[in-house]
Amino acid sequence: MKTYGYIALLAAALSSIAQAAPAEKRQVAPIQVVYPNYIIPIKQNAPDTAFGPQFRGDIYYHSFAARNETRLLLGFDMPSNAATNCQLAFNLPPAGTPNAFPWSQSGNPTLWVYTLSRIVDVTDTWNKRPARVPEARVGTIILRSEQFPDASQSLIQGIIPCKKGQRLDLELAYRAQGGEGNVNWFEMSDPRTGITVEMFNYGA
């Protein structure tokens, strides 16, 4: 069963050298929002097919035995600016929002975030993909539907680097033990839809 409406999906991330900012400072607006340059699906049931960059994100998990998992490889060109902290964010607009594209989510609500050993390439496939470094996940995103409109109910966990002036490359996949799940969306800036990196300057 598909669920349509608003999902606020957040995975908090701090630069690897910074301490968590005081709660009151987290209310400031980001100094810059960065959209992915690359959204590349890799599919377990088409392990040698390079799907290349897409405008739509689609992540799916059924079971290991079914061999039909779909993950996303993401590449962000991070600007050089005054940011001290970065946060991965995921937003999907409410149903009926003008100019919004349809999206859907069902099943397992937990996504895992991994950093990668190299820059994402347009020829990457399931069998030729960058390794996870570290192998363990660095962040978690909990999908929240209209039943959970309070963003504080979204799980905020993990650390990713800002990598200012460099590429930030990530893998997004479903938590394997969470059961079947699917989410798909069309990445766009107005209305803001999909996965982004928010850059903050919390000061000293």
**Within-domain flag for 1:** no
Per the structure, the complete domain to which residue 155 belongs is given by: 7-200
**Within-domain flag for 70:** yes
Per the listing, tokens 């990713």 go with: 160
Over residues 85-94, the mean pLDDT reads: 84
- What domain count does the chain have? 1
**What's the full length of the chain, in residues?**
204
**Within-domain flag for 112:** yes
**Within-domain flag for 115:** yes
Find the range with the poorest average confidence among 49-58, 77-86, 140-149, 180-189: 140-149
Q: Would you place residue 24 in the very low, low, confident or very high pLDDT band (cuts 50, 70, 90)?
A: very low
Question: Could you tell me which residue, 37 or 146, shows the higher pLDDT?
Answer: 37
**Within-domain flag for 25:** yes
pLDDT recorded at residue 51:
97
Percentage of the chain modeled with pLDDT above 90: 45
Task: Give me the DSSP letters along 28-96.
Answer: SPPSEEE--SEEEEEETTSTT------SEEEEEE--TTTT--EEEEEEEEPPPSS-SEEEEEEEEPPTT
Q: Which residues contact 147 (CB under 8 A, 6 or more apart)?
A: none
pLDDT recorded at residue 74:
97
pLDDT in tens, 116-140: 999 999 999 999 999 999 888 888 8
Return the SS3 of 27: helix
Question: Could you tell me which residue, 23 or 102, shows the higher pLDDT?
Answer: 102
**Within-domain flag for 170:** yes
> Does position 96 have pLDDT exceeding 90, yes or no?
no
**Within-domain flag for 2:** no
**Within-domain flag for 59:** yes
pLDDT recorded at residue 144:
60
